Amino acid sequence: MPLHEEVTALMRGVAAEVVLPRFRALAAEDVAIKSAGEVVTIVDREAELRLHDGLAALGLGARILGEEAAEEDPALLDNVDEGLVWLIDPLDGTANFAAGRAPFGMMIALVENGSTVAGWMLDPLTGRLCHAVRGMGAICDGAVIRARPSGALRPRAALGTHFLAPDRRARVHAEADLQLDVVAVPRCAAESYPRLVLGQDDAALFQRILPWDHAAGALFVTEAGGMVTHWDGSPWRVGGHGVGVLAAASPRLWERAADALLRPAAGLVERDRLAA
């Protein structure tokens, strides 16, 4: 993609100048409660402003939508699946960052009419950059990459169920434990999606479908040979109306995860509603 170097340089610059200097150096007043179970930091806001201005300078004429701007004005999400849109998650894994621990990341995606055209995910601590362009494959640190399974006897699944009610969460985990090895979630989509390609995890379940959390990662996984859908089996897309996200390193692993997680007993979706 012609803009790959420019977007990469922008992200690395913001990571070096805004994000990393404040890692484990936040003052109490630099952190605030955003919503139940979520925090926001001064870094989220400053990084988003820098990324917004940098993307605007590229001259594509696309709308630019950042997570923190949408938090302030939810109407910005209206018609997010129309036209050309830049999506920004300036600091994914904010709770980890605020607690002084990894992982956390930065994500940018370019979306056209609800379909992700290109995506970038940067790990500021390691410098790892995952990138994908629609129809052109996935790249990690400059090398073309294909998703590989973990090789575990039972698929390794990271279940993002922390926003579910306790009784529903218990049902999901009870069913998962019958067929899957449930592993800890990183609480950072910018880490969850690469793990599916790098052979660390085989499947990942997400409840929330905020576009900046998934646009870059879903493209990266699918371009690497994996599969990403809503819980009903319909393809995930920006602005889609499906519920939840199930991602896996391959279609076969998606089926194995769906057999455990999307059966009626798990309480997430009726099995006969699955499209795949």
Q: Binding site residues for Mg(2+), as ranges?
A: 67, 89, 91-92, 213
Dist. CA 65–CA 82, nearest whole Å: 13
In degrees and rounded to multiples of 5, residue 222 shows phi and psi of -70, -40
Tokens 């340089």 identify what position?
9
Spatial strand order in the sheet of 143-145? 63-66, 84-92, 105-112, 115-122, 129-133, 137-140, 143-145
Cα–Cα nearest to 236, from 196, 205, 201: 205
Does residue 115 contact residue 87 with C-beta atoms inside 8 Å? no
Question: Binding site, residues?
Answer: 67, 89, 91-92, 213
Residue 137 CA: distances (Å) to CA of 105, 127, 142, 181, 194 = 21, 20, 12, 29, 14
Dist. CA 257–CA 259, nearest whole Å: 5
Which residues, including other chains, have CB under 8 Å from residue 65's CB and lie 6 or more apart?
Answer: 76, 77, 80, 85, 86, 87, 88, 211, 212
Tokens 């997430």 identify what position?
268
Q: How many helices (H) and strands (E) does the chain have?
A: 8, 14
For residues 231, 233, 235, 238, the Cα torsion angle rounded to the nearest 10 degrees is -20
Tokens 């870094």 identify what position?
43
